[in-house]
Amino acid sequence: MREFEELETHITTLLSEMVSIPSVNPGEGTVDNIRGEERMASYLFNYFKHHSYSFNVKKEEILTDRPNIYIETSNDPNKKTLLFETHTDTVSVDHMSISPFEPFIKDGKFYGRGSCDAKGQLVAMISGIEMALEENDGVLPINVKLAATVDEEHLHRGVDRLVELGIKADGAVAGEPTELKIVSATKGSIRFKIRTTGKSAHTANPQDGINAIYIMSDVIQVIQKKIVPLLQNRNHPLCGNATTSVTIIGGGSQVNIVPDECVIDVDRRLLPGEQWEEAYQEIQDMIMDNLDQDLHSAIIFDYPYLIDPSLETSQASSIVSAFSAMMQSHNEDLILCQENRHRFFYRAFAW
């Protein structure tokens, strides 16, 4: 084990170097000189290529100038595999009150864009691997892999690629800011539109039309008065209760015309154990059961435009219990649930 001061210097130097490298997610916007993960990927690639321990290092371009980096200590099929994963992109630097790429430490805290999300996690993973190698004379009893992926802050195409590659591990840890808590469960979500259709008419003779907004108002009442309370009683020990919300509404075109269409967007958060198909069907059934039969043909449920399943790793599983024991030995204990973090990554593994 290295002396603590030496280790601390190594960790803060690594983190300072990484935070100094701009890697803002370009999103769908224009690319300027602080955006893109290429510089971070090159930094990591060179770091491991020239390391005193030998690593297999690969770079895979996921988007133009935006590569994932894959590192492994070994790839022995007779050994178990532990995978670390986190991302190299950061959110934008808008509204920051400090210089984003000139990191500094103040009162024991590290400042600079990405130091918390997720370059700190990346450095923790790297230095953890290095410490393990040092303690084991360079040969680990397991294969350790590290995937540093792009685009987590926007469309997570870097981690999608990891899933597509069919990468397998006996255990995996995704690095995200959790205030040192282990996150072993995550809520999922579905988002979809509900449409109501009516018949337009001049407001001089509204009786000649069918007001789609009025029908939607009935639909919303069912969601608010029946479905929301129902979900409040459905609980998960880590994630709290299931929820649903109507978040966007649109309808009507002119003040003197009875509207013939109204549309809402619905967001339904799924607890671990809930299947999205059942949750979607339940909302449809509840609305139809609570409204008059003659309105049914005027209500259309669009297929969800977003489907993210909920996920959970058992607290009794070896990876969660091993990490819990380690956290407890440092007086950090709680396991909590976090919504929708690295959901596609979690999906890849049967922990």
Binding site for Zn ion (CB under 5 A): 117-118, 176
Q: Which two tokens stand for residue 195?
A: 């449409």
* Shortest distance in whole angstroms from residue 94 CB to Zn ion: 17
The CA distance from 177 to 185, in Å, is 15
Which of 175, 259 has the CB closer to Zn ion?
175
Which of 120, 188 has the CB closer to Zn ion?
120
Which of 23, 211 has the CB closer to Zn ion?
23
Give the residue carrying structure tokens 């449920």: 301
* Shortest distance in whole angstroms from residue 27 CB to Zn ion: 14
Residue 41's identity, in one-letter code, is A
* Shortest distance in whole angstroms from residue 118 CB to Zn ion: 4
Q: Which two tokens stand for residue 120?
A: 């700190």
Give the residue carrying structure tokens 């840890």: 173
Which of 101, 301 has the CB closer to Zn ion?
101
Q: How many C-alpha atoms does 139 have within 13 Å on its Cβ side?
A: 2
The CA distance from 174 to 179, in Å, is 14
* Shortest distance in whole angstroms from residue 148 CB to Zn ion: 12
DSSP track, 282-339: HHHHHHHHHS-GGGGGGEEEPPPSEEE--EE--TTSHHHHHHHHHHHHTT---EEE-S
Which of 117, 312 has the CB closer to Zn ion?
117
* Shortest distance in whole angstroms from residue 23 CB to Zn ion: 12
Q: Is residue 235 within 8 Å of 241, Cβ to Cβ? A: yes
Distance of CA 327 to the CA centre of its chain: 23
Which of 120, 198 has the CB closer to Zn ion?
120
Give SS3 for 77.
Answer: coil
* Shortest distance in whole angstroms from residue 8 CB to Zn ion: 24
The CA distance from 108 to 115, in Å, is 13
* Shortest distance in whole angstroms from residue 87 CB to Zn ion: 6
Q: Is residue 266 within 8 Å of 283, Cβ to Cβ? A: yes
* Shortest distance in whole angstroms from residue 151 CB to Zn ion: 11
Beta bridge mates, 164: none
Which of 268, 342 has the CB closer to Zn ion?
342
Which of 117, 151 has the CB closer to Zn ion?
117
For 203, which DSSP code? Answer: T
CB-based burial label for 126 (10 Å; 0-12, 13-18, 19+):
buried
